Amino acid sequence: MKINEIRGGMKKEVTINNLSDLTGAAKELLNIDSDSKIFAFFGEMGAGKTTFIKAICKELDVKDEVSSPTFAIINEYLANNSEPVYHFDFYRIKDEREALDIGLEEYLYSENYCFIEWPEKILNLLPENFIKVNITVEGEKRLISLK
Ligand SMILES: Nc1ncnc2c1ncn2[C@@H]1O[C@H](COP(=O)(O)OP(=O)(O)OP(=O)(O)O)[C@@H](O)[C@H]1O
Ligand SMILES: [Mg+2]
């Protein structure tokens, strides 16, 4: 795992060489210097968004099974300290209305962790200071940038 810190820790780039690097990357993400607990995961299909969110939930001591909420749109887990953690997948929604209908705004303003796959679909609904997580595939490696 290689970590590049840019501008005093506000932006980080983590190179993932294999799945075991994801634990370290998850720790970096959770330690990022930000007031926001809303993380938007950008990356093509199969880039590793769900896999990375699983690793992050493990660091948060989530005991529930973490899986892609593709059909449910949202999964709610409990972290060890009994705080809810919200995991969204907006791939299949038709429009923003559908996201509003499931109560997205209440989740976003709950101050609990929100991990969002396919945030492209609901960009207009996100508050200003969410954390952008970009996953790009480079051969066998993944480059994860946080800003
Ligand atoms: N860091 C990684 N290194 C190697 N393989 C990975 C990594 N992350 C994910 N994979 C593998 O890539 C495949 C797709 O991962 P995943 O389901 O997490 O992608 P996704 O971005 O959530 O896809 P989708 O857009 O369909 O939701 C899985 O088989 C997973 O094991
Ligand atoms: Mg996924």
What are the boundaries of each domain within the chain?
A: 2-146
pTM of the complete model: 0.94
CA gap 92, 54 in Å, rounded? 20
pLDDT at residue number 7:
67
Contact 145, 10 (CB under 8 A): no
CA gap 44, 21 in Å, rounded? 20
Task: Answer whether 142 contacts ligand 1 (Cβ < 6 A).
Answer: yes
> How close is the Cα of 117 to the center of ligand 2, in Å?
6
Q: How far apart are the first and last CA of the chain?
A: 18
Longest dimension (CA), the chain: 41
Task: Answer whether 50 contacts ligand 1 (Cβ < 6 A).
Answer: yes
| Count of Cβ atoms closer than 10 Å to residue 100 Cβ | 12
pLDDT at residue number 42:
98
DSSP state of 61: T
Q: Which amino acid is at 139?
A: G
For residues 116-133, give the mean pLDDT: 96
CA gap 39, 122 in Å, rounded? 13
Strand partners, 76: 86
In this structure, CATH architecture of domain 2-146 = 3-Layer(aba) Sandwich (3.40)
| Residue 32 tokens, joined | 């990022």
pLDDT at residue number 4:
85
> How close is the Cα of 13 to the center of ligand 1, in Å?
18
| Residue 139 tokens, joined | 């051969």
What is the dihedral angle through the alpha carbons of 55, 135, 42, 109, rounded to the nearest 10 degrees? 40
The pLDDT of residue 37 is above 70: yes
pLDDT digit string (tens) for 69-110? 877 899 999 998 899 999 999 999 999 999 999 999 999 999
Question: Minimum mean pLDDT among 1-5, 11-15, 16-20, 49-53: which range?
Answer: 1-5
What is the share, in percent, of the chain residues with pLDDT greater than 70?
98
| Residue 122 tokens, joined | 């609901």
CA gap 60, 82 in Å, rounded? 10
> How close is the Cα of 96 to the center of ligand 1, in Å?
25
